[in-house]
A and B are shown apart, each in its own frame.
Chain A
């Protein structure tokens, strides 16, 4: 049994860590988040040049291998550094669907551009009425000769503001919540009938609500078979869920480390507050949460790789447990920092916000506990 990263994976982690240390301190990050795109195009180019955008893909798709475990070292370090560049929505999720469902022609056209950092993608799946149910798709794609016409409203599309192409989940058949009848389409954001409302999320990540009104999409822009997309969507959302779990584990480690550092230096009643047992035990519990979370992450990643990327119960168990840990560690980090913890100027407060978002991203803790049960 061996839970260590391979030499390659370790090098990847080191390279992301160096980037965060050199180019992504808290103030630099703030400028990135406040910028027009809500992320840095220059950083994105760096990601491409360092080969990080190849990590989610198999070798035949121009990637580095694309195992689930390979995502962990990158996402953990992104989590520690609170990196907002759209690696997860663009490369892991939308890129993953393209690799999973796309034809050779579609892949040849788009994957090299993505991996080289020239193409921004987003996956538009969630809808206002559907919450976390991936089958609750009301957006319709109706046949119109050798085209489709798309109508619907997609909510909180991660990287939806910066994306040039969208992967859209739409219904070509069946009713809301049917497992059959969901198809995927590549939609150019410049197409007539696409409107976007771009915004920043609480965690600094960019997103958009997107409306499609009679958007004409060529049949050749459909990804995969008509009406059969749900299993691929579930597979890629599970993979993205694992990635966000890894990000959370990194963010939690960072929150604990910063809390330890703060309580060792902050003095009240004439001594460091870290000397008070009431606080020590809370930090011990944070540490236990971090370790239990990491165990679940490794469990889910190895289960995914052992089962061809399909291990829904393992992923949901991990998301449920890591969600609980993210809540506990995030809230405790703020509490132990006292007043400064609830101010915008403290990095820990931003870790807390991201740790809150990851509890709900791709399904809340309760949602995944229920999915694990069934």
Chain B
């Protein structure tokens, strides 16, 4: 058993720290540390800085522009980014569609799409969920009917994060008829958002921000050359990548940063007498959350260590999703309690760039409630935590039915 960093790893950590110290723009850092919404421009600016450093695509194979880092280096990178207040790289291009393209796409598709993802020239969004296909994703109804060398796509995708900024969308669509088994009827299509027949309508989440959208397809013509791999294999491609792209899903460094912030705030906040940190009930909740996070950190390290010795990350990574979101939501609630009354005013504009009116409440108190509301999504998206338990039952515990 060996769990401490070796000299090379420590040197790597110093290199990462120095880079983040020099390269991370202060305005972006400020927003990230305060948990505020970033603009499209913020994300793109940061990702282009990473691109110039050669560190944009941490998980990609080196031949396509990846870093070639091992599991420990990736963990160090994630940890240091969170510590420094660097924004997370948006996953849709870099972590979701790119691995499908380099794993299952044609040579032409790789050359056409990967460089622009790597350089953050093109913004991608994900078209999986539908109004009637949530947890039961394979029952999706968006159809793609062949018409010469095009597909005609009809249907509606939903919960499409930040689609309002997107240049392209990757979709799971139904290419097989009703006689074909669900999983074999699904294909993986790349669609230009500028195609005629696509309309985007925003959905405001609980914090009042149009974070997600519905994307409607009305007789949208998509060239057949935009299909990844074989027709009817899209489900397989999407699923394989779901179990392989779990690095960072536990979000330990991000949650730790917010937990530390909660501790600092609790030491300055009180109900007249002792501080919240001296309130035994609050302090116990804080301690239990910190302990759970520590357990999660080691569960993730165990998974990474297994991966680095060549074992595939199994369905055990569902634990990382479940516990990672639970513990993050516990930290959100600590912040809600710390904010007290000043969590209640709904004035999101005071956290926007250029706001020069009178600020209501101390610090980011009012933002912490919005963050709590917003992050209830975490236990629902990416396969709800109940679906994750189904996966554990089936694939780990051997419980059928």
Q: Which residues of A contact B (CB under 8 A)?
A: 1-6, 69, 260, 263-264, 271-272, 274-277, 280-281, 283-285, 287-288, 291-296, 298-299, 301-302, 306, 317, 320-321, 369-370, 372-373
**Complex alpha-carbon distance, A302 and B308, angstroms:** 19
Task: Tell me, yes or no, whether B193 is within 8 Å of chain A by CB.
Answer: no
5 additional contacts (CB under 8 A) given A264-B399, A275-B400, A295-B297? A1-B308, A264-B398, A271-B401, A299-B297, A317-B290
A276 touches B401 (CB 8 A): yes
A295 touches B287 (CB 8 A): no
A295 touches B291 (CB 8 A): no
Nearest chain A CB to B280 CB, angstrom units: 9
A373 surroundings in chain B (CB, below 8 A): 283-284, 286-287
**Sorted from nearest, which 6 A-B pairs have the closest CB atoms?**
A275-B401, A295-B298, A284-B389, A292-B295, A284-B392, A280-B393
A292 touches B3 (CB 8 A): no
B302 touches A295 (CB 8 A): yes
Task: Tell me, yes or no, whether B322 is within 8 Å of chain A by CB.
Answer: yes
Contact with A along B380-394 (1 / 0, CB 8 A): 000000100110110
A260 touches B398 (CB 8 A): yes
B304 surroundings in chain A (CB, below 8 A): 1
B401 touches A298 (CB 8 A): no
B337 surroundings in chain A (CB, below 8 A): none
B296 touches A292 (CB 8 A): yes
Name A302's contact: one of B1, B299, B319 (CB within 8 Å): B1
24 chain-A/chain-B pairs, Cβ below 8 angstroms: A1-B2, A1-B3, A1-B71, A1-B72, A2-B2, A3-B1, A3-B3, A3-B305, A6-B1, A264-B399, A280-B389, A284-B392, A287-B319, A287-B396, A288-B323, A291-B299, A292-B296, A294-B302, A295-B296, A296-B295, A299-B298, A302-B1, A320-B291, A373-B283
B295 surroundings in chain A (CB, below 8 A): 292-293, 295-296, 299, 321
Report if A69-B389 is in contact (Cβ < 8 Å); known contacts: A292-B323, A298-B302: no
B299 touches A295 (CB 8 A): yes
Nearest chain A CB to B59 CB, angstrom units: 18
Nearest chain B CB to A229 CB, angstrom units: 29
B397 surroundings in chain A (CB, below 8 A): 260, 280, 283-284, 287
**Complex alpha-carbon distance, A119 and B305, angstroms:** 42
Task: Tell me, yes or no, whether B4 is within 8 Å of chain A by CB.
Answer: yes
A275 surroundings in chain B (CB, below 8 A): 399-401
**Complex alpha-carbon distance, A5 and B309, angstroms:** 14
Nearest chain A CB to B287 CB, angstrom units: 5
A298 touches B392 (CB 8 A): no
Task: Tell me, yes or no, whether B294 is within 8 Å of chain A by CB.
Answer: yes
A288 touches B292 (CB 8 A): no
B305 touches A2 (CB 8 A): yes
B291 touches A317 (CB 8 A): yes
A287 touches B392 (CB 8 A): yes
A69 touches B1 (CB 8 A): yes
Question: How many residues on B have C-beta within 8 angstroms of the other chain's C-beta atoms?
Answer: 42
Name A280's contact: one of B287, B316, B401 (CB within 8 Å): B401
Q: Which residues of B contact A (CB under 8 A)?
A: 1-4, 71-72, 283-284, 286-288, 290-292, 294-299, 301-302, 304-306, 308-309, 316, 319, 322-323, 386, 389-390, 392-393, 396-401
A4 surroundings in chain B (CB, below 8 A): 1
**Complex alpha-carbon distance, A369 and B316, angstroms:** 27
A302 surroundings in chain B (CB, below 8 A): 1, 3-4
B323 surroundings in chain A (CB, below 8 A): 288, 292
A291 touches B1 (CB 8 A): no
**Complex alpha-carbon distance, A6 and B286, angstroms:** 36
**Complex alpha-carbon distance, A69 and B290, angstroms:** 24
A280 touches B390 (CB 8 A): yes
Report if A369-B287 is in contact (Cβ < 8 Å); known contacts: A2-B1, A280-B401, A285-B389: yes
A288 touches B322 (CB 8 A): yes
Nearest chain B CB to A62 CB, angstrom units: 24
**Complex alpha-carbon distance, A284 and B390, angstroms:** 8
A298 touches B294 (CB 8 A): no
Nearest B-chain residue to A302, judged by Cβ: B3
Nearest chain A CB to B13 CB, angstrom units: 14
A288 surroundings in chain B (CB, below 8 A): 319, 322-323, 392
B399 surroundings in chain A (CB, below 8 A): 260, 263-264, 274-275, 280, 283
Nearest B-chain residue to A317, judged by Cβ: B291
Nearest B-chain residue to A303, judged by Cβ: B3
**Complex alpha-carbon distance, A2 and B70, angstroms:** 13
A372 touches B287 (CB 8 A): yes
Name B393's contact: one of A271, A284, A291, A299 (CB within 8 Å): A284
A294 surroundings in chain B (CB, below 8 A): 302
Nearest B-chain residue to A257, judged by Cβ: B397
Which one of A285, A293, A295, A299 has the greatest number of beta carbons of chain B within 10 Å? A295
Which one of B71, B295, B304, B398 has the greatest number of beta carbons of chain A within 10 Å? B295
Nearest chain A CB to B230 CB, angstrom units: 34
Nearest B-chain residue to A371, judged by Cβ: B287
**Complex alpha-carbon distance, A274 and B292, angstroms:** 28
A293 surroundings in chain B (CB, below 8 A): 295
Report if A298-B291 is in contact (Cβ < 8 Å); known contacts: A275-B400, A281-B393, A287-B396: no
Nearest chain B CB to A374 CB, angstrom units: 10
B284 surroundings in chain A (CB, below 8 A): 369-370, 373
Nearest chain A CB to B252 CB, angstrom units: 12
Nearest chain A CB to B311 CB, angstrom units: 11
Name A298's contact: one of B1, B4, B319 (CB within 8 Å): B1
Nearest chain A CB to B145 CB, angstrom units: 36
**Complex alpha-carbon distance, A308 and B291, angstroms:** 22
B3 surroundings in chain A (CB, below 8 A): 1-3, 298, 302, 306
Report if A281-B291 is in contact (Cβ < 8 Å); known contacts: A292-B296, A302-B3: no
B294 touches A317 (CB 8 A): yes
Nearest chain A CB to B130 CB, angstrom units: 24
A317 surroundings in chain B (CB, below 8 A): 290-291, 294
